[in-house]
Chain A
Amino acid sequence: MAAVGESRITYDARGLVEIDGTPPGVAEIDGDRATFDARELTTRKINAELRRLVYEEGVTDVTIANPGAKHSLGVGILTRCRITFEGSLGYFGCGLIDGPEIHVKGRVGWSSCENMMSGVVVIDGNAGSLTAAAIRGGDVVVHGRVGARTGIDQKGGTVIIAGSAGSMTGFMMQRGRQIILGDVGPGLGDSMYDGTIYVGGKVKALGVDCVPGEWTDADTEFIERKFRIYGLGSPPELQKFVCGKQLYNYDTLEPSERKLVL
């Protein structure tokens, strides 16, 4: 007979059972290149093996087969190297990176590339919501479509989306650029502080304080350069959107001064 609540609810799925973070040492290393199969490995083991290769073995080109849409793969890599995932990633993939060039031959889930500092992430398929949230630098290129709130709180870098994007794209964006070749959902650039968003398709609705911007030669040069780097062909006609800077936070008056004015 089960007592009240006895052992029916366990928490091992939260990762508490796997305290062994030692690298499995399964990679095949060939000079500065390495390959390993992630099918039977947990998230922690995959990341531990990846870190062993790039930090301890001096490998600069790692290929990971069968990532299986597992979460949090390829996070926190802070060195220049090349990483290829032969398949899809789950949530939080490639977050907190500074330097690597990562190629995902599949799809990524929510919050990929979050807080990225520098480097390049190229995703062949679709991406979930919150892609490139709060990135400070580097390039994120998604060849498919993305979910909502792409580049929320973006502080730098460039996000290129070949497909469409969901609602609140560029929400509270502070700096950097986004190039979205497809349609964009409602609330584009809502409450953005700065930065630039280029859109090739239809915009369902602009967010608060997001306004059309004036196109310059620098925009053309920037777009053409990024298209050339990532082999995207000739750029289509794009609309440019920037911050209108009419929100209350752009009011330079102190609260006490405002009272005097009013």
Chain B
Amino acid sequence: MCGIAGIIYRDGTHDIGREMTAMLQSMKHRGPDSTGFALYGPPRTDNGTYAMRVKLADANTPRDFEFHDRLVRHRAEVERRLVAVGATDAEYEDSTEYAFNVTFGYDGDLKLLADRVENIPGAEVLSIGRSLQIVKDLGDAEQVADEYNLDRFVGSHAIGHVRMATESDVDISGAHPYWAYPFSDIAVVHNGQLTNYFYWRRRLERSGHRFQSECDSEIIAVYLAERMAEGASLEDAMRQSLEELDGVFTYICVTDDALGMAKDELAAKPLVLYEADDLVALASEEVAIRQIVDREIDTYDPYEGEVMVWQR
């Protein structure tokens, strides 16, 4: 089933970590297997500074005798490789025993950097962005938010996802949101199924992209980022996706300054939308929006084939 949610403020920054946690927790019944957040903090003013979220293992990775030693070795290798590709002033912040956040200065090729890090066994770059940070793990929203201290996250917009695993494993790789490797600051959450997944996976792999999961949703993020890299706006890329992606789906895509939603021609996956002067909130169920707007509100379901984009 899965549940998706998004919020974007038009009047500055708010406690989006706490708010997205409340929204996702209220939809736990739609997907108790894993929870993920894509959070956008205040835009960095210093050019060339990125934040990168990395995991070196999963919550359910077997804890063999070498587990901790391996984590230490692989973490040291990440640090070494970042220096080797030219990243500077790296600052590390541990989230869990197997996941961390690193900020660094870098003016090189992000794909090269991500590929070098992911070449380390078990390593996966969850996100790279100037304001984006993707956090995802097994468990419900409150568990994940507590573990990663998301209550303190202040920003302008966010998306989130609660996952009921249907066609791939229960692990972090199968959890949403998906970062649009190797493009900075683009992420997607998705509810539905793509029926031409393998067609697009082969096509995007031939263009040099890699996929960390077997999840069809990962296609959408990379597909949109590639369209935008070719010059399309977010809205145009999303409209094009309705023509080229088959299946039943509703998805939300975020960039560093915008949030958009798209619904396929069958409108088989739900989305409820609330739009105010200062805030746009959307979710698979209105009960999630009520977690941050605790009053009677006027909401509606976008129609089939609709694409809507809001700027922060």
- Considering the chains assembled together, what is the distance between the CA atoms of A166 and B270 in angstroms? 13
Interface of B is mostly: loop
The reply to whether B304 and A4 contact each other, CB–CB distance below 8 Å, is no
The reply to whether B28 and A9 contact each other, CB–CB distance below 8 Å, is no
Digitize B54-65: 1 where CB-to-A-CB distance is under 8 Å, 0 elsewhere. 000001101100
The reply to whether A167 and B266 contact each other, CB–CB distance below 8 Å, is yes
Q: Does A88 contact B (CB under 8 A)?
A: yes
Q: Point out the residue from B62, B138, B298 that lies within 8 Å of A125, measured CB to CB.
A: B298
Q: Does A31 contact B (CB under 8 A)?
A: no
Q: Does A19 contact B (CB under 8 A)?
A: no
The reply to whether A8 and B59 contact each other, CB–CB distance below 8 Å, is yes
Q: Does A145 contact B (CB under 8 A)?
A: yes
The reply to whether A109 and B63 contact each other, CB–CB distance below 8 Å, is no
Q: Which residue of the partner chain A has the closest CB to B302?
A: A147
Digitize A1-39: 1 where CB-to-B-CB distance is under 8 Å, 0 elsewhere. 111110011110111000000000000000000000000
Residue contacts A-B, CB under 8 angstroms, 30 given: A2-B60, A3-B63, A5-B59, A5-B60, A8-B59, A9-B170, A10-B32, A10-B139, A13-B29, A13-B32, A13-B140, A14-B32, A68-B287, A71-B285, A88-B296, A90-B286, A125-B298, A125-B299, A128-B270, A128-B272, A129-B301, A144-B300, A148-B267, A148-B268, A148-B301, A148-B304, A166-B301, A166-B303, A168-B266, A186-B265
Task: Give the residues from 38 to 94 in chain A that come closer than 8 angstroms, CB to CB, to chain B.
Answer: 68-71, 87-88, 90-91
Q: Does A106 contact B (CB under 8 A)?
A: yes
Number of interface residues of B (CB under 8 A): 34
Q: Point out the residue from A13, A69, A129, A148 that lies within 8 Å of B286, measured CB to CB.
A: A69
- Considering the chains assembled together, what is the distance between the CA atoms of A166 and B305 in angstroms? 10
Q: Write the residues of chain A forming the contact surface with B, with a CB cutoff of 8 angstroms.
A: 1-5, 8-11, 13-15, 68-71, 87-88, 90-91, 106-107, 109-110, 125-126, 128-129, 144-145, 147-149, 166-168, 185-186
| Given A9-B33, A11-B32, A167-B266, residue A107 in contact with residue B304 (CB < 8 A) | no
Q: Does B290 contact A (CB under 8 A)?
A: yes
Q: Does B213 contact A (CB under 8 A)?
A: no
